[in-house]
Amino acid sequence: MRRHFVAGFARALTITWLLVAEGSFASADDHGDAIRLTVESMLAVQEPSGLEPYELNFLAARGAETRTVTAPNLTRQAFAASVLADFYSRTGDRRLAPVLQRYLRALVRYSQPIGKSTAQVLLEKTRLLSVPIGRYKLARALDYLGLSYQTWGAGSVLVPHEGYGGAYVGATALALLAELRYAHTSGDLRFTDQRQAWLEGLLALRLPGDGFRVLPASLLTVPYGDGEAWLALAEYHHLYPENERVNAQLISVDEALTRKYDSHFEVDFVAWGIMAASARYADTQEKSFLEFIKRQTRRFLASQQAHLPSENTCDAMEGLIDALSALRRAGEGDSVLAGEINQWLATEIPKAMGLQILRGQTVLTLPNGPRIVPGLPAFGGQFLARPLAASTRVDFTGHCLSALLKLSGPSGPSTAP
């Protein structure tokens, strides 16, 4: 136990020293071992279905949802696939190709068609569906009349075991993101038709003048779903800028979501919104995106959620690292805001690294003291939900891997042994 504690503490001290000494986040070499360990773990535990174990309680020695896949699980699985595809795109590591193929085939199996009737299209053009008052009652009426969605059409959405009532927009957005990254790196065209179907499904869930319906039969939006969908469309446009229809939709989404989340700050939107705005700024160099990133970052750093010592904050780290990259791209890497981001990262990076299960680790420190966990070594590389916890979940590990990849820079870590 002492060996694992000392190793983790030394690594945290090294990272903190680098942050202070350089005035910036650490270089690729500082995170390469942790990244490789995480990726090796995710590759090793992939199930025959193509998905990852969802939620693991090490004391109970079992995972959650072994016989079913709920909407949150499916969304988080699609996210994990998108992060592995990001690693693949940064490194070209050929081990990832078959892993991502299995993951994408699993997501395809959970995909079902979706479309709109002519009446629904005409109704949407009136902007009635985007009126903020009475959306719940209106959604029930539209669903009763068959004007919410059709279970056929050119689009496709990820549908868990709950049926269309659990078809979260975020799951479809993140599946699209995973395929985009995989196909761009591999040149593999086998999922091209499904990519187009997921794109159409995502666009089918757009509320004119607003964000994205969280569910096909709903007129409600949620911060996570808005941000995930915005990021997927931004990356789609980056790879396929000649698609004028997507470009027009994206410009509309840019305007709607920046206005919406400037007027009403939502911490659940911050990381996704900053990542999407950063992608748009990199593509367009439009200052409005940079200013949006600054506003969102300042409001997050001032919020209570930015200073939770007992939480895994890798999801927020993803956004703030992109915010810092955008500031550097704008020549503002020495600004006060950049310094505040670096100061926040100086606290959060070591905390995140302390949540990673080390190679060969057998002991967990829990509220009542250290405890030997025999099955723990099989999950070396995964990230715990929080300090003193005995559980992990596929998205906690995915967010931490994504944050470490962003810290490594655009090319990612070396994959050489």
Burial call 315-354: b when 16+ CB within 10 Å, e when fewer: bbbbbbbbbbbbbeebeebeeebbebbbebbbebbbbbbe
pTM, two decimals, is 0.89
pLDDT band at residue 46 under the 50/70/90 scheme = very high
Query: Three-state SS for 408?
Result: helix
Tens digit of each residue's pLDDT (9 = 90 or more) over 49-103: 999 999 988 887 667 787 889 999 999 999 999 999 999 999 999 999 999 999 9
DSSP string, 69-136: --HHHHHHHHHHHHHHHHHHHHH--TTHHHHHHHHHHHHHHTEEEEE--HHHHHHHHTTGGG-STTHH
**Averaged over 207-230, what is the pLDDT?**
95
- 91, 232, 236, 254, 318 from 276: Cα distances, Å: 22, 8, 11, 9, 11
In this structure, what DSSP letter does residue 359 have?
T
417 residue type, one letter: P
Matching residue, tokens 């367009």? 284
Tens digit of each residue's pLDDT (9 = 90 or more) over 174-194: 999 999 999 999 999 999 999
Tens digit of each residue's pLDDT (9 = 90 or more) over 190-212: 999 999 999 999 999 999 999 99
Mean pLDDT (the chain, rounded): 89
Q: What share of the chain is helix, strand, coil (3-state, %, to 5)?
A: 60, 10, 30
Please, is 359 exposed, middle or buried when counting C-beta atoms within 10 Å of its C-beta (0-12, 13-18, 19+)? Answer: middle
Could you report how far apart the first and last alpha carbons of the chain are, in Å? Answer: 27
pLDDT at 416: 40
Query: Three-state SS for 26?
Result: coil
